[in-house]
Structure 1
Amino acid sequence: MITRTAFVMALALMLAACSGYRQPPTAFHDILTKPYRLDSSDVLRVIVFGQADLNNTYTVDQAGYISMPLIGSVPVRGLTLRELEKTVTKRLKNGYLRDPDVSIEVATYRPVFVMGEVTNAGQYPYVAGMTAQNAIATAGGFSPRALHGTVDITRQINGEVISGRVPITDPVRPGDTIYVRERFF
Structure 2
Amino acid sequence: MRLVSMTIRLASAPYSRFSDRLVLRALRVLGPALCLFAFAAISLTVRAQSPTAAPDSARTLLAPSPPSVAPQVTTNAVTAPSGYVLSANDQVAVEVFGEEDLRTNGRLNAEGNLSLPLLGSVHLAGLNLTQATARVSELYARDYLVNPKVNVMLVGYAKRRFTMLGQVNRPGSFEMPEGSPMGIDLLEAIAMAGGYTRIAAPERITVRRHSPKGDEILKVDGKRLARGTGGANSSFKVQAGDTITVGESIF
TM-score of the superposed pair, with normalisation by structure 2: 0.46
> Residue 147 of structure 1 aligns to a residue in which SS?
strand
> Counterpart in 2 of 1:11?
none
> Counterpart in 2 of 1:54?
103
**Any stretches of 5+ residues in structure 2 without a counterpart?**
1-81, 226-235
Match of 1:131 among 158, 167, 185: 185
> Residue 142 of structure 1 aligns to a residue in which SS?
coil
Code of the residue aligned with 2:114 in structure 1: it is I
Contact 1:92 1:100 in 2 (8 A): no
2: distance between equivalents of 1:166 and 1:60?
A: 34
> Residue 103 of structure 1 aligns to a residue in which SS?
strand
> Counterpart in 2 of 1:111?
161
2: distance between equivalents of 1:98 and 1:36?
A: 26
2: distance between equivalents of 1:38 and 1:129?
A: 12
> Counterpart in 2 of 1:146?
200
Please report how far the alpha carbon of residue 54 of structure 1 lies from its aligned counterpart in structure 2 after TM superposition.
Answer: 3.2
What are the residue-to-residue correspondences of 1:1-185 with 2, within 5 Å? 35=83, 38=86, 41-48=88-95, 54-62=103-111, 64-91=112-139, 95=144, 100-105=149-154, 107-108=157-158, 111-126=161-176, 127=180, 128-148=182-202, 151-156=205-210, 158-167=213-222, 169=225, 170-184=236-250
Please report how far the alpha carbon of residue 118 of structure 1 lies from its aligned counterpart in structure 2 after TM superposition.
Answer: 1.8
Q: Which has the larger radius of gyration?
A: 2
RMSD, aligned α-carbons: 3.7
Deviates more, 1:50-59 or 1:81-90: 50-59
TM-score of the superposed pair, with normalisation by structure 1: 0.58
Cα distance, 1:163–1:129 mapped onto 2, change above 3 Å: closer
Contact 2:172 2:193 in 1 (8 A): yes
Cα distance, 1:97–1:112 mapped onto 2, change above 3 Å: farther
Q: RCO greater where, 1 or 2, for CA within 8 Å and sep 6 or more? A: 1
> Residue 184 of structure 2 aligns to a residue in which SS?
coil
1:32-83: CA deviation from partner (whole Å, max 9, x where unpaired): xx955545x3523224288598352312333x42213453211224433212
Please report how far the alpha carbon of residue 114 of structure 1 lies from its aligned counterpart in structure 2 after TM superposition.
Answer: 0.9
1: distance between equivalents of 2:146 and 2:95?
A: 10
2: distance between equivalents of 1:138 and 1:182?
A: 19
Deviates more, 1:167-176 or 1:97-106: 97-106
Structure number with higher strand proportion: 1
Contact 1:132 1:178 in 2 (8 A): no
For this pair of structures, how many residues does the alignment match?
150
Cα distance, 1:81–1:146 mapped onto 2, change above 3 Å: same
1: distance between equivalents of 2:189 and 2:113?
A: 28
Cα distance, 1:55–1:141 mapped onto 2, change above 3 Å: farther
Cα distance, 1:180–1:137 mapped onto 2, change above 3 Å: same
Moved beyond 6 Å, runs of 4+: none
Structure number with higher helix proportion: 2
State the percentage of identical aligned residues: 25
